[in-house]
Amino acid sequence: MRMPGKAPRKVLGPIVAVASLALAGGVLAGCAGGGDAFEEGEGQGGKRLTIASAQFSEQTILAHAYAALLEKAGYQPEVQVVQSREVYEPSMENGQVHVAPEYAATLLEFLNGKQNGPDAKPLATGDVETTVQRLRPLAEKAGLTVLEPSQAVDQNYFVVRKQFAGENNLRSLSDLGKLDRPIVLAAGDDCKERPFCYEALTETYGIDIEEVKPLGVNTLPTKEAVQKGDADLGLSLTTDATLQDLGLVGLADDKQTQLADYVVPVVSAKSAGDPKIEQALNKLSDVLTTEDLTELNRRVDVEREKPETVARDYLQSKGLI
């Protein structure tokens, strides 16, 4: 699950148009009012398309992959990196931002809160089909079209030391629950209030959480606490490319307590309803896996390669461009 407050990964790449929150907020507020901040029209290569990305590496990689696919389909795409979904989503509704890589469960709850109020009953589940089925009507109401989800998921991932897992034959959270020993958990400071964190571990899996160390979600302090043995279990993300290097392994969420944050392309129904756009973007969804996305993140976040280079290399390896 893409959690609010998660620190963005550093964005690399000189051709990405990065907007500060103040600038992007002003530009996109202008869009909401009918301004011309995002230029429409036909260029030499076809219609210009703006692809939005929040300011972290994974989504920027995906945005560049979409851009390469759309360029091959005859469009003139441009990637614009802004601070967050709250900045770009209103401009997708009015058609001035055309495409964005999204996460099914998080987008569903974003639109649920926006349309039904902050106290609306949660709709997202751990099942991708149910989550996308519930997402599409809310997206349609907002003027958005949700395309086919990929196999790649970026959701909460509980990790342990590889040695600890091997010694206790741990492959899943159910295995950890059967271990019947007190567990120290490193996670966000709101873990006890989150149904997918403390409640899921204790009530669904029967894990005896002795202490929650408030070190954050997918932060270096959380992973180091597990690595050093100061915590038995830590909350990371499924596409974290640093886990192996730190000697950590994830435990399967075999009872589907974590929300189905599968990568899914979303387009503006008003300005990007061309079937050619859908066909181009679904090509990536057909092949992208969690393992693939983790490796792409590793190349950007660890090897410091440019997101656009990594995206193009991946598409070429799959014969898509």
Kindly state the average pLDDT of the residues 112-119. Answer: 93
Tokens representing 116 are: 């039904």
> Do residues 316 and 23 lie in contact, with contact meaning Cβ atoms separated by under 8 Å?
no
For 164-192, the pLDDT digits (tens) are 999 999 999 999 999 989 999 999 888 88
Q: What is the rounded distance in angstroms from the CA atom of residue 192 to the CA atom of residue 190?
A: 6
Task: Indicate the CATH number of 156-250 among 3.40.1190.20, 3.40.190.120, 2.40.30.20, 1.10.640.10.
Answer: 3.40.190.120
Model confidence, pTM: 0.78
Q: What is the rounded distance in angstroms from the CA atom of residue 293 to the CA atom of residue 29?
A: 32
Residue 52: the pLDDT is: 96
| 39: pLDDT strictly greater than 90 | no
For 139-168, the pLDDT digits (tens) are 999 999 999 999 999 999 999 999 999 999
| Mean pLDDT across the chain | 86
Pairing of strands 209-214, 144-146: unpaired
pLDDT category of residue 54 using cuts at 50, 70 and 90: confident
Q: What is the rounded distance in angstroms from the CA atom of residue 157 to the CA atom of residue 178?
A: 19
Kindly state the average pLDDT of the residues 42-61. Answer: 82
Kindly state the average pLDDT of the residues 265-286. Answer: 96
| 291: pLDDT strictly greater than 90 | yes
| 242: pLDDT strictly greater than 60 | yes
pLDDT category of residue 193 using cuts at 50, 70 and 90: confident
| 38: pLDDT strictly greater than 90 | no
Residue 32: the pLDDT is: 34
> Do residues 238 and 294 lie in contact, with contact meaning Cβ atoms separated by under 8 Å?
yes
Residue 20: the pLDDT is: 31
Q: What is the rounded distance in angstroms from the CA atom of residue 148 to the CA atom of residue 264?
A: 6
- Percent of the chain at pLDDT > 70 equals 86
For 197-218, the pLDDT digits (tens) are 999 999 999 999 999 999 988 8
Kindly state the average pLDDT of the residues 280-289. Answer: 97
Domain boundaries, the chain: 17-153+260-317, 156-250
List Cβ<8 Å contacts ≥24 apart for 305-309. Answer: 305/12, 306/12, 306/13, 306/14, 307/11, 307/12, 307/13, 307/16, 307/57, 307/60, 307/61, 307/63, 307/64, 308/13, 308/15, 308/16, 308/64, 308/67, 308/68, 308/79, 309/13
Distances (CA, A) of 150 to 27, 99, 204, 237, 298: 31, 16, 27, 17, 19
Q: Would the CA dihedral through 176, 177, 181, 183 be positive or negative?
A: positive
- φ, ψ for residue 215, nearest 5 deg: -105, 0
* 17-153+260-317 and 156-250 in the same fold: yes
Q: What is the rounded distance in angstroms from the CA atom of residue 275 to the CA atom of residue 271?
A: 12
Q: Which of 304, 277, 319, 310 is nearest to 74 (CA)?
A: 277
> What does CATH list as the number for 17-153+260-317?
3.40.190.10
Helices (H), the chain: 21-32, 57-72, 85-93, 104-116, 128-141, 162-168, 173-178, 220-228, 275-287, 290-301, 307-317
Residue 137: the pLDDT is: 98
Residue 196: the pLDDT is: 86
pLDDT category of residue 44 using cuts at 50, 70 and 90: very low
Kindly state the average pLDDT of the residues 109-116. Answer: 94
Residue 313: the pLDDT is: 98
